[in-house]
């Protein structure tokens, strides 16, 4: 499994300004995204699958992880399509792909996902405070995202958080911690200064005029703090 941290770009077709989300994903990776997430809250999963598979192929070639938002069955379809059936032995099988599922607080619980998914699929979780983060980690989350840090326009019904809240979570858990919610190049430094291992963004890259350049700017900000500069 690749390292979990850095610039985490969430690819949401609804945020791509009518552009091909696969092309936006490619530009995000070229700009320096460390991880991607496929997030489509509108279309049926059968319609999402071809694009999700194309984004997964990009991640495999780049050696980057792809997390699927919410839909464990869609992630399993990608895994099987890659050529490794869950539960299959290692003999003759290709290396487990770089794949995960991201769970929100109203999605299937992390503990339930951990029971039904193969170990090769990592699980990430949306959290808002120390208690939720600790619970997610205890149940098997490989990372937690803390938000809504600055107020997002990409999702309704979020709960307010802050860089200080993220700092509290960072001290409480031993897995990577991402900030999410209204983050862009103007405020990413505040998130990293709070101790984040990375930042998760949607519109800051998907909605940018030049997604590659936007990703590169954010990736450099994040990398600078991760290098301790």
Predicted TM-score (pTM) of the model is 0.92
What does the pLDDT read at residue 91? 39
How many residues are listed for the chain in this entry?
229
Check pLDDT > 60 for residue 94.
no
Which positions ≥6 away from 71 have C-beta within 8 Å? 45, 101
pLDDT tens digit string along 151-181?
866 666 568 899 999 999 999 999 999 999 9
In the structure encoding, which two tokens stand for residue 90, read together?
């290692």
Task: Quickly state the pLDDT bin for 88 (edges 50, 70, 90).
Answer: very low
Tokens of 35: 């991880």
Is 38:66 a contact under the CB 8 Å cutoff? yes
pLDDT-based confidence at residue 227 (cuts at 50, 70, 90): confident
Residues 6 or more apart whose Cβ sits within 8 Å of residue 139 = 109, 110, 111, 114
Which domains occur in the chain, in start order?
A: 6-226 (3.20.20.70)
């Amino acid at each position: 499994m690749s390292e979990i941290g850095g610039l985490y770009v969430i690819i949401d077709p609804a945020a791509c300004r009518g552009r091909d989300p696969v092309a936006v994903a490619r530009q995000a990776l070229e700009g320096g995204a460390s991880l991607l997430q496929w997030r489509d809250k509108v279309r049926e999963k059968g319609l999402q699958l071809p694009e999700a598979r194309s984004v997964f192929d990009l991640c495999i070639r780049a050696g980057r992880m792809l997390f699927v938002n919410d839909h464990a069955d869609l992630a399993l379809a990608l895994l099987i399509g890659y050529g490794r059936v869950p539960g299959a032995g290692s003999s003759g099988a290709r290396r487990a792909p770089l794949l995960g599922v991201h769970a929100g607080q109203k999605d299937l619980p992390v503990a339930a996902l951990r029971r039904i998914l193969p170990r090769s699929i990592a699980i990430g979780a949306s959290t808002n405070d120390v208690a939720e983060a600790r619970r997610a980690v205890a149940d098997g989350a490989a990372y937690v995202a803390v938000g809504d840090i600055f107020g997002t326009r990409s999702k309704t019904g979020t709960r307010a958080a802050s860089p200080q809240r993220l700092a509290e979570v960072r001290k409480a858990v031993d897995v990577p911690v991402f900030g999410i919610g209204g983050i862009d190049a103007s405020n990413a430094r505040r998130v990293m200064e709070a101790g984040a291992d990375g930042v998760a963004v949607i519109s800051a890259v998907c909605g940018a005029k030049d997604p590659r350049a936007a990703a590169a700017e954010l990736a450099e900000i994040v990398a600078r703090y991760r290098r301790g500069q």
